[in-house]
Structure 1
Amino acid sequence: MTERKPTGADWERWVDRQIREAQERGEFDDLPGAGKPLPGLHRPRDEQWWLRDYLRREGVSADPLLPESLRLRKELERLPDRVRGLRGEKAVREHVAELNAQIEAWLRMPVGPYVPIGPADADEVVEAWRAAREAPAEPAQAPPPERVSWLSRLRRRWRRT
């Protein structure tokens, strides 16, 4: 690359020659992503494509970026899994009370899209937590029946509000 770069019409021939010589030397062999489509070519265009791509690359959840109502609804759906690892009934009730306080604060002053949500029933969550602790470990394919019935009751409550 010590030679002078040409100007004008010779530029294209010079660039093509540089690329061809690099290919012959094998400088383009075994590059990361070889044989894969270029990212972003087949995705629908949106204003925050770069943010979604960054979060995906870094392995970070986008949940904190959701509107408060959607984030709270996701927390309600994940509640049985979140309390499963807690040690005592008091800790479960405290976790439910904390989530209910967030939900009630949002209900007093809703911001963002309105998604019907209501507070979780601490007694139902504790019953499901006890049943999950007492039940023998089942295969991961089928969720425990208590969880399904608790979620179905919660979904019915959402539809009512």
Structure 2
Amino acid sequence: MTERKPPGMGFESFVERQIRAAEARGEFDDLPGAGRPSRAVADTAYDEMWWIRQKLAREGVSVLPPTLALRKEAEDTLAAAYAAPTEAVVRRLIDGVNVRIREVMFKPPPGPPLGLKPYDTDAVVAEWRARRTG
């Protein structure tokens, strides 16, 4: 686009005229996805942040701050421990997540406070045993 807007012509009408001229020349005919609705619009209810969410997903960026990601990991690990097949697996899972919790407890967090303390491994094993017998 090298043409300048003529004086006295509204910007919107100038742009619309250029778009109509480009359509008439067929410059929009071979665009990828032509004639199909946008996947973001077709697949989901309207979300004004849809393009940001898609970009983050494409880039593999974590949306959660590290402390919140650790909270989620701790919850998932506790659930996995309760479903574990042996006591040794329960202890390994809980001891592993406790190491990560302690690391965050003893250094300043980069996000919101963690709000967790290490799990009592013996208490988790006792709960695991109670769930297996019940």
Compute the TM-score of the two structures, normalised by the length of structure 2. Answer: 0.57
Q: How does 1:22-37 map to 2 (within 5 A)?
A: 37=41
Question: Which residue identity does 1:116 align to in structure 2?
Answer: G
Give the aligned partner of residue 105 of structure 1: 103
Tell me, in whole angstroms, the C-alpha distance in 2 between the residues paired with 1:97 and 1:90: 10
Tell me, in whole angstroms, the C-alpha distance in 1 between the residues paired with 2:21 and 2:70: 62
Tell me, in whole angstroms, the C-alpha distance in 2 between the residues paired with 1:100 and 1:11: 62
What 5-or-longer segments of structure 1 have no aligned partner?
1-7, 20-26, 136-161
Compute the TM-score of the two structures, normalised by the length of structure 1. Answer: 0.50
Q: How does 1:1-161 map to 2 (within 5 A)?
A: 12-15=23-26, 37=41, 42-45=46-49, 48-54=52-58, 66-113=64-111, 114-135=113-134
> Match of 1:97, SS?
helix
Q: Percent identity?
A: 22
Tell me, in whole angstroms, the C-alpha distance in 1 between the residues paired with 2:119 and 2:25: 70
> Match of 1:77, SS?
helix
> Match of 2:41, SS?
coil
Distance 1:110 1:14, change over 3 A: same
Tell me, in whole angstroms, the C-alpha distance in 1 between the residues paired with 2:22 and 2:75: 61
> Does the 8 Å CA contact 2:78/2:94 hold for their aligned counterparts?
no
> What is the Cα deviation at residue 126 of structure 1?
1.0
Tell me, in whole angstroms, the C-alpha distance in 2 between the residues paired with 1:117 and 1:125: 15
Tell me, in whole angstroms, the C-alpha distance in 2 between the residues paired with 1:70 and 1:10: 52
Tell me, in whole angstroms, the C-alpha distance in 1 between the residues paired with 2:121 and 2:68: 21
